[in-house]
Amino acid sequence: MLAILAPGQGAQTPGFLTPWMERPAFAARMEWFATVCGLDLIAFGTKGDAEQIRDTAVAQPLLVAAGLAAATELGLGSDAASELPAAEPPAAELVFAGHSVGELTAAALAGVLSPEQAMVLVAERGRAMAAASATTPTGMTAVLGGDREVVLATIAEHGLTAANDNGSGQVVAAGTMEQLAAFAADPPEKARLVPLSVAGAFHTHHMAPAVDHLTGLAASITPGEPTAKLLSNADGVVVDSGKVFLARLVSQVSNPVRWDLCSATLLDLGVTGMIELLPGGTLTGLAKRAMRGVTGVPLRTPEDLAGAHALLTRGASS
């Protein structure tokens, strides 16, 4: 069993697309995705500074487009256009999972959404979440280390939401800036707090207006059925209905991400290898502690494609 993982917001860095634009198939896909969502994704991904690509309305479509374009380079997805040697059938069964907005990438690769549907939906998701964030100053803070139960209790005491439970001793607290300031002044014992460079309290009740908007849009989509195992952030379960997964994609905007449960499910399924799509590193980093012994290949530059391709075609035992 081989996992294909798609990272979420915060994984992007200035210029991360630059080395990839030398690959014609990748560049063509990015140009198409930019047209579909009405944003100059190539400019943002090659020339945009940290503040520009932090913008939720930019970051989310940029991440999904990059992940889908990278997947086509590996022969994955309905629009695969790999420049690597002719792809052999994967040597292992595939399971797809994405963190937060990465769920849209995973849904497209598993056949629930077309790439174009995913891009339209993520562009609207980003805009709606940015608008919801603008109503009240909110943010997110990563809590590293500390006793899990104490961390969760302290988060709740300050009226915050554990918006991301990532496992590996990492929980992300989200709420108003005043709540986060009080939390910083009274942190959980033995924990380190790291404010995140995001524009709002994602995956909390503060995102309810975005859910309302996306619910209307999703009603016009007829999803496909998953062609491979597809995990949900809500509880880590395998969802075998496209309609159910689409509904979960929408509701997840205002509900916590349980990546810890996704990691547990991947282990239960017998996953022995994983490829983290562009811009890789975050999820494979978490897996080093939560999924010890699992081979991980994060895609950062085109040089990483060979290792990922080998994992796909020879199996995780390679």
Residues with catalytic function: 100, 203
Are the C-beta atoms of 137 and 176 separated by less than 8 Å? yes
Give residues with Cβ within 8 angstroms of 226, minimum separation 6: 110, 111, 112, 239, 240, 241, 242, 245
Query: Scanning the structure block, which residue is given the tokens 């491979």?
Result: 228
Are the C-beta atoms of 11 and 63 separated by less than 8 Å? yes
CA-based end-to-end distance of the chain: 13
Query: Scanning the structure block, which residue is given the tokens 């502690």?
Result: 289
Give residues with Cβ within 8 angstroms of 248, minimum separation 6: 232, 233, 234, 239
Measured in whole angstroms, the distance separating CA 190 from the mean position of its chain's CA atoms is 28
Rg (CA), the chain: 18
Residue 145: φ, ψ to 5°: 85, -165
Amino acid at 318: S
d(CA 240, CA 25): 31
The secondary structure of the chain in percent helix, strand, coil, rounded to multiples of 5, reads 50, 15, 35
Residue 17: φ, ψ to 5°: -85, -15
Order the strands of the 2-6 sheet from edge to edge. 229-230, 94-98, 2-6, 273-276, 295-298
